Structure 1
Amino acid sequence: MCMEYLDLSPKMLLCLYLCIGTLITLDQFAFNSLLTDIKNPEQGGIDVGTIGLGLIGSTSLLATIPFSPVSAYFSQSYNSNRIIFIGIIIWGIGTLLTSMALNFWTLLVSRLLVGFGASAFISLCNPCVLEIAPEDKKTIWLGIVSYNQMLGIVIGLNYGPFIKNLTGIWRYAFVFDFFLAIPLAIFLILPKENQKLIFRPKEGSDESMIGQIKIIIQNPVLVAIILGVAALAFVGTGFSYWTIDFLQTYFHMESESANFIYSMLQLVSGLFGIGAGSLLLTWLMSEYQEQYDKNIIDEEVLENYRVRKGLELSCFCSIGVLLSVSIATISDNLNIFLIFLGFGCFFGAMFVTPSITAMLFCVPKHLKSQTTAISGVLICLLGNFLAPVVIGSFFNSFGYYWGMILNSSWCVWSVLYFFLAWNTARLHGGPYDYSWNYFNCKKSYSRYQNLKIV
């Protein structure tokens, strides 16, 4: 089935993952940008209220739960690109059905399929990038592929209204999504398989999927990271899902202006934020990378430092997000709201690479994909799933102002959990030694005792 002469280089695979991630995010934010049209029956929309749209946004994220751990588990036996291919096919069907939705239930089912299909890519993308990236450029490559979020947001927020204005029908945006996915699916399935993208466990290991999940949730550093990311995901999803509607309803902006301004905020903050996070983490790791290159420290110790430095930056960024979005939402001034929301988006983008790095390097190599899957499920449940419906309910009950205040204040949990993760990581063992048994002990363990605590 594969074309042996078509062998994608690591850089080509990186570009492919970037394009797939961008398309998935583009679809999500095109949907968000068209909420006003989707809920308006007079413009060919569906008779569904704010709470209904919030429920659709939340439950579509829940669709990642069943497929993420399964796809991660099968990636230990089958090539990850083949698994992502299956997910993209399901995702494409979901986007096509979105364009045909006639009522709340058909729209809900179609968005569930979109989330279900996207989960394979979400759980496998970052582990795949870490496998194909050069040793000294892993954080840079993670940063590059993370740009899919920024690109997808910026393009999606303008793409949805553009297609709607061009054709007069919002549904065509999702038809085009389906056709855009076809060439990407072809490049996943036809080229020669890259054997690095099969995450085989250590020889002799017979861990079941349940056993792997138990290992993951017994890691206190990872659990704290997941809870911290989930809290920030709640805040980010709340803003990304409701900001355009908030600008139109609370500040009485035109739809096109709201989409353009918010997309520009995402573009500028994402462009500089993701790059800043990746470059700063690379700079912080340069000393230890040099020691590794000179065989002064081994790979496991290097990964220990990656966790620590990633958590330090994550703490800093989460504090930046908290302060920025709090000022933005407390103020009743449009300009102040937009300026400090921009700062919040910058720190949120800067947070991406350090948090992913800390998360994936605090577990054994063969569990990286499963860690991404399980963390994705928990982050979805505790963050992405809650935000649209909770904030939407607050809008209905207490008004838009207090709904946004609630959204911003949730970031406090992110700061607390990342501080806990950082403090635990710097005091207790290395990436493969983190254990709940040592959670309350104030000393390092095993051969990590000689690492300086910074």
Structure 2
Amino acid sequence: MGGDSDVDTASEGVRRRPPMNPRGLLFLFVSASLVTYVDRGAIASNGVNSEGVQQDFGLSDFQDGVLASAFMVGLVIGAPVFAEATKYYDGFSCMFVGLTIWCLALLWCAVSPGYGWLVAARCMVGLGEASFINLAAPFINAVAPRESRSAWLAIFYATIPVGIALGYAYGGLVTGQLGLSWRWALAIQAIIMAPFAVVCLVQGARGVGSKLMALAAVQQAERDEGEEAMDTEVSPLVGAEEAGAPRDSAAR
């Protein structure tokens, strides 16, 4: 009994005093997500791909397709690994590791001497990204005001099409308007993402991720209790309707 009371008290404290400013967390995740999807668009853009990578390495259409989708290998492998890691380590610490891998992988892409190295680097990009996509939405849902949760999640997921579209424009801007190599287009993304990785490191040291996971667990328990209460209220009504059905049929 006492243990349950202590847990409830701690959970209530986390609920009333979020461990991180909600709008700050939304800004962090929206910005980081936007950068990751800009990369998706940039690697497929004419400036980076057709006029850059394909020409430099003499790639066939098949090789080009493999390059564009190679990140999925790392993503599929990394998603369950990072999901399991969050059971033992702070979520923000896991994201710091993942985003650091992502930044280093982009730098690896930028200096790759050949096609094989570039494909391997793109796989590592997906591995790093996996840490982020596992936790961003649950964390946003945990701290968002109840009446704004859908809107906040919509803003977060809007970064997917917006980021990819910006990536195409970004690739053309860097290689076309600025006259830089496609390698610079990838390296600049790593530089932009680095501050977000540092923020995750700081928040992880504060244990913010673990507190947000606790808050998310409390909210899920409340939803489960609400569903059970609703089922309890509805069941007698359904039973009464079913019991009354034969009498109605007989009357007719």
- TM-score past 0.5 threshold: yes
| CA distance in structure 1 between the partners assigned to 2:74 and 2:167 by the alignment | 21
Query: Quick one: distance in 2 between partners of 1:37 and 1:49?
Result: 13
Q: Deviations over 1:137-161 (max 9, x none)?
A: 2211111211221331232111111
The residue that corresponds to 1:93 in the other structure is 104
Q: From the superposition, tell whether residues 63 and 451 of structure 1 become closer, same or farther in structure 2 (CA, over 3 Å).
A: farther
RMSD: 2.9
Relative contact order (alpha carbons < 8 A, sep ≥ 6): 1 or 2 greater? 2
State the SS of the aligned residue for 2:57: coil
Please state how far the C-alpha of 1:39 moved relative to its aligned partner. Answer: 4.4
One of 193, 208, 229 as aligned partner of 1:181: 193
Please state whether the residue corresponding to 2:130 is helix, strand or coil: helix
Letter in 1 for 2:22: P
Q: 2:202 aligns with which of 190, 201, 225?
A: 190
- Identity of paired residues, percent? 22
1:23-57 CA-partner distances (Å, limit 9, x unpaired): 1101111111132123443xxx2121111111122
Equivalent residue for 1:36?
Answer: 50
Partner of 1:219: none
Residue by residue over 1:70-127, the C-alpha shift from the partner in whole angstroms, topping out at 9 and shown as x without a partner, is: 2112223322111111000000111111111232201101101111100110111111
Q: How many residues align?
A: 210
Q: Deviations over 1:126-179 (max 9, x none)?
A: 111111112232211111211221331232111111111213411110110111
TM-score (norm 2): 0.74
Following TM superposition, where does structure 1 have runs of at least 4 consecutive aligned residues deviating by more than 4 angstroms? 199-202, 301-304, 445-452
Do the aligned residues in 2 keep the contact of 1:46 with 1:102 (CA within 8 Å)? Answer: no
TM-score norm. by structure 1 comes to: 0.42
In the alignment, which residue of structure 2 is the partner of 1:22? 34
* Unaligned segments of structure 1, at least 5 residues: 1-6, 203-297, 305-429, 431-444
Structure 2: gaps (5+ residues): 1-18, 239-252
Residue 134 (1) aligns with residue 145 (2): yes
Distance change (3 Å), C-alpha of 1:54 and 1:18: same
Matching residue of 2:165? 154
The secondary structure found in structure 2 opposite 1:102 is coil
Equivalent residue in structure 1 for 2:134, among 96, 99, 123: 123
Aligned-pair CA distance for 1:67: 1.7
Rounded to whole Å, the distance in 1 between the matches of 2:22 and 2:201 is 16
Question: CA 1:37–1:74 in structure 2 vs 1: closer, same or farther (change >3 Å)?
Answer: same
Q: Deviations over 1:391-450 (max 9, x none)?
A: xxxxxxxxxxxxxxxxxxxxxxxxxxxxxxxxxxxxxxx9xxxxxxxxxxxxxx877657
- Given that residues 47 and 104 in structure 1 are in contact (C-alpha distance below 8 angstroms), is that contact kept between their aligned partners in structure 2? no
Higher helix residue share = 2
Paired with 1:447 and 1:21, the residues of 2 have a C-alpha distance of: 42
Q: Give the secondary-structure state (helix, strand or coil) at the position aligned to 1:190.
A: helix
What is the CA deviation profile of residues 253-301 of structure 1, one whole-angstrom value per residue up to 9, with x for unaligned ones?
A: xxxxxxxxxxxxxxxxxxxxxxxxxxxxxxxxxxxxxxxxxxxxx7337
CA distance in 2, matches of 1:51, 1:447: 59
AA at the equivalent of 1:27:
D
